[in-house]
């Protein structure tokens, strides 16, 4: 079987790496991929958003299954393009991907489905939004751009002045382009954040092992929001009781409500939760695997991933045996470029990758890397996801940071406290 993975981040590297281990799979392509996928599978020089050329490639190569990693092509409708040409593809349709593509749409679905989430209002004009902020008694408030903004379109604002500045940056200065045509303002929730991901084939829902991301840039959860600076799995906060609550109160009603809205969901449904004193509430839905959550989760998956994703794409998840998981803990530490999540310093050669590759139970997944004149250089904000399996959280953390120590480039940095949240459980 031939598989095509669409995307170029750490999530796509772990997907390609895991799919290649399947005895059923003869070749894995990654479009466009990065320096890490180049080493493990075959890169294809087509941008992740060029649906027509990707479908053309899949047809010409006889690709049996395409797996879409990132949100942008999903929201743009790549799955619809593939399906129209009779190609098997894992991921939600354009209509269902709106769950991530529009925060106002997601909030509306949650309201219809009675899913617990932060109280909110959606706005189309700056004047209305500012009036609401001035009249509202309670701060803090969270201001969100409606559309996609690579995890950066959310401002948690402690004061009215901060909230108004965030609205102006989105709606007047257009910091996130058309993603800020509409905004959502909601109450701030407090608690631990946990990511619960589930495979969905329209009917059947199979949860994956839970992970915890670290969204803030710096140690101790300080600094600006990022796409995620590291993750570990399993997450001790995700008790069996919590998983039951999430399935019955969040995942099932959401999948049913999407179907009623003519947006049947197939793919990975990702619920970003805040565990509040009143129970879990949804911060956001994503319509794909999390990045970096996919790295520790898939490193722990023992089951062959190819038949699983294939069954999900065909609506046959019900026929699968239970997924098998490595009982050990996986920790993924993201190494980032100088400047991230702001303007970046890129193009620096990365050294020490071969030394890190020697370490047991460790895999360095690439994200923002490329090959330049034979050298691996940093090209993006999040550059590497250094992931290790250990007997417990401290062992996995120790191994991951040991690998981090082998690797260097000009300006490289990472959080030093990835997985420490597990100790607060
Ligand atoms: P989102 O893209 O909506 O998940 O937001 C990104 C991050 O912003 C989340 O992972 C949280 O850390 C934070 N955030 C979003 N909404 C809220 C909220 N209502 N209260 C507190 N923090 C939030
Ligand atoms: N790590 C958060 C996300 O993938 O959206």
189 in contact with ligand 1, CB cutoff 6 A = yes
Whether the per-residue pLDDT at 15 is higher than 80: the answer is yes
pLDDT confidence of residue 174: 92
247 burial level (CB within 10 Å; 0-12, 13-18, 19+): middle
Identify the residue whose C-alpha is closest to ligand 1 atom 4: 284
CA of 283 to the centre of ligand 1 (A): 5
Residues 164, 136: Cα–Cα separation, whole Å? 12
CA of 56 to the centre of ligand 2 (A): 29
Residues 18, 30: Cα–Cα separation, whole Å? 13
Which atom of ligand 2 sits closest to the CA of residue 231?
1
CA of 97 to the centre of ligand 2 (A): 15
Q: How confident is the model over 232-263, as pLDDT tens digits?
A: 999 998 999 999 999 999 999 999 999 999 99
CA of 292 to the centre of ligand 2 (A): 7
Identify the residue whose C-alpha is closest to ligand 1 atom 12: 215
Whose tokens are 């690709």? That residue is: 63
Q: Report, as an integer, the average pLDDT of 20-46.
A: 98
Ligand nearest to the CA of 156: 1
CA of 17 to the centre of ligand 2 (A): 19
Whether the per-residue pLDDT at 360 is higher than 80: the answer is yes
pLDDT confidence of residue 423: 84
Q: Report, as an integer, the average pLDDT of 374-395.
A: 97
Name which of 151-155, 269-273, 370-374, 395-399 the model is least confident about: 151-155
Which atom of ligand 1 sits closest to the CA of residue 190?
21
Under the banding of pLDDT at 50, 70 and 90, the label for residue 137 is: confident
DSSP secondary structure code for residue 424 in this structure: G
Residues 92, 312: Cα–Cα separation, whole Å? 11
100 in contact with ligand 2, CB cutoff 6 A = no
Identify the residue whose C-alpha is closest to ligand 2 atom 2: 290
- Determine what percent of the chain falls in helix, strand and coil, rounding each to the nearest 5: 35, 30, 35
pLDDT confidence of residue 153: 86
Q: Report, as an integer, the average pLDDT of 378-392.
A: 98
DSSP sequence for 207-242? EPPPBEE--EEEGGGEEEE-S-SEEEES-TT--HHH
CA atoms within 13 A on the CB side of 230: 32
- Sign, CA dihedral 310-313-319-321, equals positive
Residues 130, 209: Cα–Cα separation, whole Å? 41
Residues 413, 335: Cα–Cα separation, whole Å? 6
pLDDT confidence of residue 425: 65
Q: How confident is the model over 315-326, as pLDDT tens digits?
A: 999 999 999 999
Name which of 49-53, 132-136, 365-369 the model is least confident about: 132-136
Residue 366 token pair:
């690439």
Which atom of ligand 2 sits closest to the CA of residue 213?
1
pLDDT confidence of residue 312: 97
283 in contact with ligand 1, CB cutoff 6 A = yes
* Beta-bridge partners for 207: 198
CA of 42 to the centre of ligand 1 (A): 36
Ligand nearest to the CA of 69: 2
228 in contact with ligand 2, CB cutoff 6 A = yes
E strand or H helix at 138: none
pLDDT confidence of residue 177: 87
- Domains annotated for the chain, with CATH where assigned, are 2-91 (3.40.50.20), 125-181 (3.30.1490), 192-319 (3.30.470.20), 329-424 (3.90.600.10)
Whether the per-residue pLDDT at 151 is higher than 80: the answer is no
Residue 22 token pair:
């399947």
Under the banding of pLDDT at 50, 70 and 90, the label for residue 217 is: very high
């Amino acid at each position: 079987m031939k598989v095509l993975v669409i995307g170029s981040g750490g999530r796509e590297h772990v997907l390609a790496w895991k799919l290649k281990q399947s005895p059923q799979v003869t070749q894995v392509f990654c479009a466009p991929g990065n320096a890490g996928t180049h080493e493990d599978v075959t890169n294809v020089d087509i941008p992740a958003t060029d649906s027509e050329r990707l479908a053309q490639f899949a047809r010409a190569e006889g690709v049996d299954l395409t797996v879409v990693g990132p949100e942008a092509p999903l929201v743009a409708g790549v799955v619809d393009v593939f399906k129209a040409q009779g190609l098997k593809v894992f991921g939600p349709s354009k209509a269902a991907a709106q769950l991530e593509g529009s925060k106002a749409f997601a909030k509306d679905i949650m309201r219809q489905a009675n899913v617990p989430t932060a109280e909110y209002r959606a706005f189309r004009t700056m004047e209305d939004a500012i009036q609401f902020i001035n009249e509202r008694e309670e701060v803090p408030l969270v201001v969100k751009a409606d559309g996609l903004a690579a995890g950066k379109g959310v401002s948690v604002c402690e004061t009215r002045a901060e909230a108004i500045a965030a609205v102006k940056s989105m709606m007047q200065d257009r910091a996130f382009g058309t993603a800020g045509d509409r905004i959502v303002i909601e109450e701030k929730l407090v608690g631990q954040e946990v990511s619960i991901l589930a495979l969905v084939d329209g009917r059947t829902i199979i949860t994956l092992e839970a992970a915890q991301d670290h969204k803030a840039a710096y140690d101790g959860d300080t600094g600006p929001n990022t796409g995620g600076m590291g993750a570990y799995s399993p997450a001790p906060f995700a008790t069996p009781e919590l998983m039951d609550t999430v399935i019955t109160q969040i995942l099932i009603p959401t999948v049913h409500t999407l179907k009623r809205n003519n947006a049947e969901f197939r793919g990975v449904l990702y619920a970003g939760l805040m565990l509040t004193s009143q129970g879990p509430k949804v911060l956001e839905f994503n319509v794909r695997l999390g990045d970096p959550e996919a790295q520790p989760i898939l490193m722990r998956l023992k089951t062959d991933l190819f038949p699983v994703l294939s069954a999900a794409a065909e609506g046959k998840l019900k026929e699968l045996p239970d997924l098998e998981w490595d009982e050990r803990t996986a920790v993924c530490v993201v190494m980032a470029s100088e400047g991230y999540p702001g303007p970046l310093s890129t193009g620096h050669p990365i050294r020490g990758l071969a030394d890190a590759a020697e370490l047991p139970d460790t895999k360095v997944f690439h994200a923002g890397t490329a090959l330049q004149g034979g050298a691996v250089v940093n090209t993006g904000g999040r550059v590497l996801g250094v992931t290790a399996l250990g007997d417990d959280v401290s062992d996995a953390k120790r191994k991951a940071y040991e690998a981090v120590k082998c690797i260097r480039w000009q300006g490289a940095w990472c959080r030093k406290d990835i997985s420490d949240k597990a100790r607060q459980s």
